[in-house]
């Protein structure tokens, strides 16, 4: 049940055709797990908090550095040296006091991933490396909850939504490829766009509106200001979501 204050706060989105109070209640009752409080995690968390997602659990083991501030808009100069999850919680808490923010400052590992996402309704992949992305993809499939993928490099970004059992997963997309984790070039507006796309997909999924970015990889080329799509088919032999013994 929405309070009078919530009805006022979310009035403009409740007005959207097909959204309504029911949609807002779905957001209020949702628990989102955001993996990463960096370039992608920042816009995702800010817009999910602003939209009124009831519980946001955000995980990041890093501390804020000066070089983060060109893109990681959850953090400020005064946060340098502090844990990212702490500045994230402080900023999100100021933005919306009506939601619950949970923080995890641990590294996401194979040993703890199931526990970390245990009571979440969805996972947002805002990580900076493929191995952890694969861990989260596998956890989402095992738990049967959606996985919202985003990635950036320079002026380029990509996004895809995974509905376990119904659509291609991250491993179908990248087929186990690994790329060494290294410092990568990026300007803040790129993760801002991709993170907002991920947050949009989360909201659409929870409210039940529109068509999700499933079985499609959205490619964003900011320099040419061009969006293109690739059709991603499920890999019947996928080690994460296919009918193989490795699942």
Partner 1 sequence: MSVNIEISPIFGRYTNNILNMKVEGKTVRECLHDLVRQFPDLKKMLLDKDGNLMHSYDFYINGENVYPKDMMKPLKDGDKLNVVFIIHGG
Distance CA 136, CA 113 (A): 7
Pairing of β 100-104 and β 216-221: unpaired
- Residue 219 lies near partner 1 (rule: CB under 8 A): yes
Which of 29, 70, 114, 237 is in the footprint of partner 1 by CB under 8 A?
237
Which is nearer to partner 1, 23 or 150 (by Cβ)? 150
Alpha-carbon gap, residue 233 to 215, rounded angstroms: 6
Residue closer to partner 1, measured from CB, 85 or 232: 232
For 34, 72, 92, the CA distances from 102, given in Å and listed in that order, are 10, 19, 11
Q: Does 11 bind partner 1 (CB under 8 A)?
A: no
Question: What is the Cα Rg of the chain in Å?
Answer: 17
**Binding test (CB under 8 A) with partner 1, winner from 23, 36, 43, 146:** 36
- Please tell me whether residue 43 binds partner 1 under the rule CB under 8 A: no
Q: What sign does the dihedral 126-70-178-158 (CA atoms) show?
A: positive
Q: For residues 31 and 119, is the Cβ–Cβ distance under 8 A?
A: yes
- Site mask for partner 1 (CB under 8 A), range 168-187, x = bound: x---xxxx-xxx-x--x-x-
Write down the least CB distance from residue 183 to partner 1, Å.
9
What residues make contact with partner 1 under the rule CB under 8 A?
Answer: 36, 38-41, 126-130, 133, 150-158, 168, 172-175, 177-179, 181, 184, 186, 191, 219, 221, 223-224, 229-233, 235-237
């Amino acid at each position: 049940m929405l309070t009078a204050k919530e009805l006022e706060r979310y009035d403009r989105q409740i007005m959207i055709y097909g959204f309504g109070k029911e949609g807002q209640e779905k957001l209020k009752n949702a628990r989102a797990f955001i993996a990463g409080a960096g370039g992608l995690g920042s816009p995702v968390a800010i817009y999910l908090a602003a939209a009124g997602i009831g519980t946001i659990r955000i995980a990041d083991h890093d501390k804020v550095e000066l070089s983060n501030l060109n893109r990681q808009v959850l953090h400020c100069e005064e946060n340098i040296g502090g844990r990212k999850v702490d500045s994230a919680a402080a900023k999100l808490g100021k933005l919306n006091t009506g939601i619950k923010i949970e923080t995890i400052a641990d590294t996401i590992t194979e040993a703890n991933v199931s526990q970390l996402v245990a009571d979440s309704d969805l996972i947002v992949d805002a990580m900076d490396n493929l191995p952890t992305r694969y861990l989260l993809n596998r956890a989402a499939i095992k738990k049967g909850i959606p996985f919202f993928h985003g990635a950036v490099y320079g002026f380029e970004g990509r996004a895809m939504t995974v509905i376990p059992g119904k659509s291609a997963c991250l491993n179908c997309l990248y087929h186990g490829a690994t790329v060494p984790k290294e410092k990568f070039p990026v300007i803040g507006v790129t993760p801002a766009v991709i993170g907002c796309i991920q947050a949009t997909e989360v909201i659409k999924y929870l409210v039940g509106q529109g068509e999700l970015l499933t079985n499609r990889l959205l490619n964003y080329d900011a320099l040419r200001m061009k969006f293109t799509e690739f059709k991603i088919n499920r890999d019947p032999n996928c080690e994460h979501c296919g009918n193989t013994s490795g699942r």
